[in-house]
């Protein structure tokens, strides 16, 4: 069982803390063993009573935690408490996974954990983070960054994306997708998607909803941008513009991501062979599936199945 500790501090924001609790602190029996979750620090008792999770007034639980979560801070100009900086440095030194939500990146940066690393935060504060900590490679264009064992996320919705990404890494795509359905949030937005600085996140009824659903139901076919555009009653250029505004990526890249997501789910939940999965996902051949899967997911399909096979 992986132990997860939410490290509260003076000035920590409630929304991001609640996001972490909803994902890691509530066992919905989606996996054989969920996380052992603790909230520690100032006001932990109040939040723990509210959310029905274990608490600690001090930061002792961080000493043995597998994962430490740092929520956003109300005032990015304020120096984080020395006690928090110290325990984060110690946790990092022993190899713990540490993730910040939104402006919690300022706390990680103050502890020196982001030096020489790529990281993100809410786009409105990215320039300030880069100016104050020049050794941090700040990327304000993405939803989250996984620089294992340090992970950072952008604004409020992206905090949920990062938390689901961690669940997907720990428990597999099927569990993460089931949790997303329970929380009524998108099952998977990759970290490389844009923060939608000028375009808001899509809402129900967006002009691509119908064509996206149709494409997901026909991934076994060699779909083209022209075909998608015709179904959406748009020109290919207009379709591409809407896709970038809605998903942060191009139609072909979005299709590729959907094929890989389906491959993950089929590997976890079926006994289908690699050739069959390649055909059902539109990858064509097992060799093509293996090549793309290994490049994006980081392991071979067979290894992924052995790790996350749902029994």
Would you state the structure tokens that stand for residue 216, as one six-digit string? 């997901």
Residues 140 and 266 in one domain: no
The pLDDT of residue 6 = 97
Q: Is residue 249 part of a domain?
A: yes
Alpha-carbon span 117 to 105, nearest angstrom: 12
Question: What is the domain-level CATH number for residue 237?
Answer: 1.10.10.60
Q: What is the mean pLDDT of residues 232-237?
A: 93
Q: Is residue 159 part of a domain?
A: yes
The pLDDT of residue 202 = 37
Above 70 in pLDDT, residue 115? yes
Alpha-carbon span 154 to 212, nearest angstrom: 25
Residues 151 and 251 in one domain: no
Residues 206 and 140 in one domain: no
Residues 40 and 158 in one domain: yes
The pLDDT of residue 190 = 57
Q: Report the percentage of the chain scoring pLDDT > 70.
A: 92
Q: Is residue 184 part of a domain?
A: no
Structural domain ending residue among the three candidates 148, 179, 210? 179
Q: What is the mean pLDDT of residues 291-296?
A: 87
- Phi/psi for 10 (5° steps) reads -60, 125
Residues 89 and 238 in one domain: no
Q: Is residue 169 part of a domain?
A: yes
Question: What is the domain-level CATH number for residue 20?
Answer: 3.40.50.880
Above 90 in pLDDT, residue 181? no
Alpha-carbon span 23 to 175, nearest angstrom: 12
Confidence band for 203, pLDDT divided at 50, 70 and 90: very low
Quick: pLDDT tens for 47-105: 989 899 999 999 999 999 999 999 999 999 999 999 999 999 999 999 999 999 999 99
The parent domain of residue 232 ranges over: 202-308
Q: Is residue 185 part of a domain?
A: no
The pLDDT of residue 32 = 87
**pTM metric for this prediction:** 0.70
Quick: pLDDT tens for 3-61: 999 999 999 999 999 999 999 999 999 988 999 999 999 889 999 898 999 999 999 99
Q: Is residue 39 part of a domain?
A: yes
Instruction: Name the one residue in this structure whose structure tokens are 């059902």.
Output: 280
Residues 169 and 221 in one domain: no
Alpha-carbon span 225 to 73, nearest angstrom: 43
Residues 46 and 172 in one domain: yes
Alpha-carbon span 241 to 244, nearest angstrom: 5
Q: Is residue 258 part of a domain?
A: yes
Name 147's bridge partners: 150
Above 90 in pLDDT, residue 184? no
Above 60 in pLDDT, residue 217? yes
Would you state the structure tokens that stand for residue 253, as one six-digit string? 């890249």
Above 90 in pLDDT, residue 199? no
Residues 125 and 209 in one domain: no
Residues 219 and 294 in one domain: yes
Q: Is residue 155 part of a domain?
A: yes
Residues 7 and 120 in one domain: yes
Residues 22 and 171 in one domain: yes
The pLDDT of residue 299 = 79
Query: For the chain, what is the domain count?
Result: 2
């Amino acid at each position: 069982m992986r132990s997860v500790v939410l490290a509260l501090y003076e000035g920590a924001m409630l929304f991001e803390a609640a996001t972490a609790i909803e994902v890691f602190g509530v066992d919905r029996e989606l996996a054989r063993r969920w996380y052992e979750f603790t909230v520690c620090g100032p006001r932990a008792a109040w939040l723990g009573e509210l959310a029905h999770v274990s608490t600690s007034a001090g930061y002792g639980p961080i000493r043995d935690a597998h994962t430490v979560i740092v929520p956003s801070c109300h005032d990015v100009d304020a120096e984080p408490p020395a006690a928090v900086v110290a325990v984060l440095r110690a946790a990092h030194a022993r190899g713990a996974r540490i993730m910040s939500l939104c402006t919690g990146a300022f706390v990680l940066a103050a502890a020196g954990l982001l030096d020489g690393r790529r990281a993100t935060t809410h786009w409105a504060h990215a320039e300030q983070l880069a100016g104050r900590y020049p050794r941090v490679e700040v990327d304000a264009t993405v939803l989250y960054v996984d620089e294992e064992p340090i992970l950072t996320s952008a604004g409020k919705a992206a905090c949920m994306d990062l938390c689901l990404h961690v669940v997907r890494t720990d428990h597999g795509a099927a569990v993460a997708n089931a949790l997303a359905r329970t929380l009524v949030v998108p099952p998977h937005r990759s970290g490389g998607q844009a923060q939608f600085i000028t375009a808001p996140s899509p809402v129900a009824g967006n002009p691509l909803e119908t064509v996206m659903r149709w494409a997901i139901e026909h991934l076994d076919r060699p779909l083209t941008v022209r075909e998608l555009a015709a179904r959406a009653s748009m020109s290919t250029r207009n379709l591409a513009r809407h896709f970038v505004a809605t998903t942060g990526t191009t139609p072909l890249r979005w299709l590729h991501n959907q094929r890989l997501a389906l491959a993950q789910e089929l590997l976890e939940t079926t006994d289908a062979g690699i050739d069959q999965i390649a055909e059902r996902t539109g990858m064509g051949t097992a060799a093509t599936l293996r090549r793309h899967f290994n490049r994006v997911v980081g392991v071979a399909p067979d290894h992924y199945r052995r790790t996350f096979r749902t029994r």
